[in-house]
Amino acid sequence: MSLVILDLEWNTAFCKELNKYVNEIVEFGAIKLDKKLNIIETFSSLVKPTVAKSIHPHVQKLINIDFNELKKAEFTFPYVLDKFADFLGDSTLLTWSNTDLHTLIDNCQLHFMDENLPFVKSYCDLQKYCEYSLGVSSSNRMLGLSSCAQILGFVEGENQSHRALDDVKLSLKCLKALYNRRHFEEFVEECDEEFYKKLTFKNKFITNINNPKIDRQQIFFDCPECNVRCVRKSKWSKQNNSMQAYFVCPECKQSFKGRVQAKVKYEGVVISKKIINK
């Protein structure tokens, strides 16, 4: 089984035809690996913009690409995508989080009015695999590539400037450091209809505590000091994407505000709780 690690860089620009902002891909970077994780082929290409007239100031801080360099690029997105599809072949695609897949879909919609990626046969979210391997998985905070590399001792601080091929090579370092073939293969998914339903599912928050999708048995707080089940002393109130209420411990009388977030994901409703003040 060969693997391809892909990283994309993109620029935020307003598209008049769609009357909205889009993330226009400006660079592909990828490496193909054999079963021993040796690099056997490299793919790198800038993408000539067809929407943007400049680089968004926020994006400019993140990517080390000058817009004049992009204007001189030889090929637009359709051609580069076609060449990348040939490069990928039957290999399993890896990206750091599925954000790159979402961006690929958005750009296919922009150029082809089609949100399918038929050239991707199997996929692995490298971020999820590394989170699992490091034991740092959290529903509230995702592990960034630079943070993972920092944990593993590859970089001393957060890398603020990105180029696609550099990020791909850093991803490979993280994969090699944490690779266990049996565990890794458990994270590889077949890109069938069910996969794309899950990928394109729009998560949303529930902010009504009486919503029947919420399991009320999960909506409780234990005292952080004596671990006793606390008593709610106020009505639930909506705060941004969360629900909040005041609680008091019947033993030590400590009071605090508890925050509950209920997010509807493809797999179901995920509840997260946090004590936000005492």
Average pLDDT over residues 60-71: 85
pLDDT of residue 157: 57
What whole-number percentage of the chain has pLDDT above 90? 79
From the number of C-beta atoms within 10 Å of its C-beta (0-12, 13-18, 19+), residue 29 rates as buried
Q: CA dihedral defined by 16, 95, 32, 113, rounded to 10 degrees?
A: -30
Q: Which residues contact 34 (CB under 8 A, 6 or more apart)?
A: 2, 40
pLDDT of residue 160: 54
Whole-number Å distance between alpha carbons of 96 and 234: 42
pLDDT of residue 260: 96
By C-alpha distance, which of 145, 45, 152 is closest to 95? 145
Kindly report the number of other CB atoms within 10 A of residue 276's CB atom: 11
Q: Which residues contact 243 (CB under 8 A, 6 or more apart)?
A: 207, 208, 209, 236, 237, 259, 260, 261, 262
- Whether residue 277 has pLDDT greater than 90: no
> What domains lie within the chain, and their CATH numbers?
3-200 (3.30.420.10), 204-277 (no CATH)
Give CA 263 to chain center in angstroms.
Answer: 16
- Are 49 and 12 in contact by the 8 Å Cβ rule? The answer is no
Instruction: Give the CA count within 13 Å in the CB-facing half-sphere of 35.
Output: 4
135 conformational bin, left if phi > 0, alpha if psi -120 to 50, beta if neither: left
- Are 213 and 264 in contact by the 8 Å Cβ rule? The answer is yes
- Whether residue 155 has pLDDT greater than 90: no
State the alpha helices, DSSP H only, in the chain: 57-62, 67-71, 77-88, 99-112, 126-134, 145-151, 164-178, 181-185, 193-200
Confidence bin at 62 (pLDDT 50/70/90): confident
For the stretch 212-223, pLDDT in tens is 999 999 999 999
- Whether residue 98 has pLDDT greater than 80: yes
